[in-house]
Amino acid sequence: MLKYFPVFKSVYETLNFSRSAQQLFVSQSTISQQIKQLETDLGVKLFIRKGKREIKPTPAADELYTSGIKIWEHVENLEQKISKMDSDYVDCHIGVSNTIAETTIASIFKAIKVPDNVNLTLKMSNSTDIVEGLNHHRYDFGFIEKPITTPGIERFAFFQDYLVHAGNFADSIWLQREAGSGVRHFTEQYWKLNNITPKQIFTIENNEMILKFLHQGMGQTITSRTVLNDEIPYQELGPKFKRDFYFLSQPTYQVEALNDLKAKIMPVLKQMKEEQHANKKLL
């Protein structure tokens, strides 16, 4: 079954044999033959033709897709993992929360010589999801904006970020980040401290999209001062709305290349922290 599953998956998603053939760079007759063979092996009909081009999946096809795709993805991941065991290359997965992704992450890695045998995958997510990903080994490192502690994970604060009240203060619309975001926590605290009950709330999972609204003069929000430009008005909120950016990692890694990468990251973060502290003294 797994041999023919990629073809089945393509046909099920496109509902068109010709488009599947184009996607997979094979002939339409190959697609038809493999679907027919899969139906023979399973003893069920998977697709019903409704016209020259239109097809409809049967209930058996719905079940095969829903349950089979999880198995297929697991097998694919397992094959990739095993194939890389004898390779000198190491995949490193890093979770980066939204504001850090927009402000500091590029400068951090600019200052680091990532080992040649390490391939980085950086994924933007919220702080809670990143911590969960570290606990379940979906991420090797994390950069978050929320003071979450978890057993077995080291946490280092490397930068202080200041939140502000920004946007059109006369607008009744509040723009807030999704649950699990570090900014969402501070937004709710601001409302509580100021006895604010928003008349209308837009929940947006991306700082950049929030800024698009603010540039249109639409809505108000709590956000990092570092992501704003001079066109968007804002008000300082004081020390209660100061937060740290954190680097999360395991104490040690079984893969030496990851220990090497961590050893390169830490001095850069320590220097960033010292420079920010020194700049505060000069102000």
Confidence of residue 84 (pLDDT cuts 50, 70, 90): low
Q: Are residues 108 and 225 in the same domain?
A: yes
Do 232 and 262 fall within a single domain?
Answer: yes
Tell me, yes or no, whether 133 and 247 share the same domain.
yes
Q: Are residues 229 and 105 in the same domain?
A: yes
Q: 99 and 73: one domain?
A: no
Quote the percentage of the chain above a pLDDT of 90.
67
Of 35, 51, 83, the position where a domain reaches its end is 83
Confidence of residue 60 (pLDDT cuts 50, 70, 90): very high
- Indicate the pairing of strand 220-224 with strand 173-176: parallel
Cβ atoms of 156 and 244 within 8 Å: the answer is: no
- CB contact burial 1-29 (16+ within 10 A = b; e otherwise): eeebbebbbbbbeeebbebbbebbeeeee
Pair 71, 107 in one domain:
no
Domain count, the chain: 2
81 pLDDT tier (thresholds 50, 70, 90)? low
CATH number at residue 273: 3.40.190.290
Q: What is the pLDDT of residue 85?
A: 56
Among 269, 40, 47, which Cα is nearest to 142's? 269
Domain boundary pick from 32, 53, 83: 83
Burial 100-125 (b: 16+ CB within 10 A, else e): bbbbbbeebbeeeeeeeebeeebebb
Mark which of 66, 83, 100 sits at the end of a domain: 83
The answer on 143 and 49 residing in a single domain is: no
How far apart, in whole angstroms, are the C-alpha atoms of residue 257 and residue 63? Answer: 42
Looking at per-residue pLDDT, the higher value among 245 and 89 belongs to 245
Q: Is the pLDDT of residue 122 over 90?
A: yes
Q: Determine the average pLDDT of the residues in 43-69.
A: 89
CA gap 157, 110 in Å, rounded? 19
Residue 52 vs residue 38, higher pLDDT: 38
Q: Which of 78-87, 93-102, 180-189, 224-233 has the lowest mean pLDDT?
A: 78-87
Do 118 and 79 belong together in one domain? no
Local confidence band at 158 (pLDDT 50, 70, 90 cut-offs): very high
Beta strands (DSSP E) in the chain are 47-49, 55-57, 90-96, 118-124, 141-144, 154-167, 173-176, 200-203, 220-224, 234-236, 242-249
Asked whether the predicted pLDDT for residue 36 surpasses 80, the reply is: yes
141/229 same-domain check: yes
Strand 242-249 with 154-167, pairing: antiparallel
Tell whether 112 and 208 lie within a shared domain.
Answer: yes
What residue numbers bound the domain in which 205 lies?
88-283
Q: Is the domain of 74 the same as that of 136?
A: no
Look up residue 82 and give its two tokens.
Answer: 């095993």
pLDDT in tens, 217-255: 999 999 999 999 889 999 999 888 999 999 999 999 988
* pLDDT-wise least confident of 82-96, 175-189, 247-261: 82-96
Query: Cβ neighbours of residue 21 under 8 Å, at least 6 residues apart?
Result: 27, 28, 30, 31
State the chain's mean pLDDT as an integer: 90
Element counts in the chain: helices (H) and strands (E): 10, 11
Looking at this protein, which amino acid is placed at residue 165? H
Cα distances (angstroms) measured from residue 18 to each of 31, 60, 86:
8, 22, 39
CA angle 118, 81, 253 (to 5 degrees): 50
- Asked if 102 and 94 touch (Cβ cutoff 8 Å), the reply is no
Q: Which residues are registered as beta bridge partners of 36?
A: none
Same domain, residue pair 59 and 101? no
Under the banding of pLDDT at 50, 70 and 90, the label for residue 283 is very low
Question: Where does the pLDDT of residue 86 fall: very low under 50, low under 70, confident under 90, or very high at 90 and above?
Answer: low
Question: What confidence tier does 168 reach under pLDDT thresholds 50, 70, 90?
Answer: very high
CATH number of the domain where residue 58 is located: 1.10.10.10
Report the sign of the C-alpha dihedral through residues 146, 239, 219, 185, in that order: positive
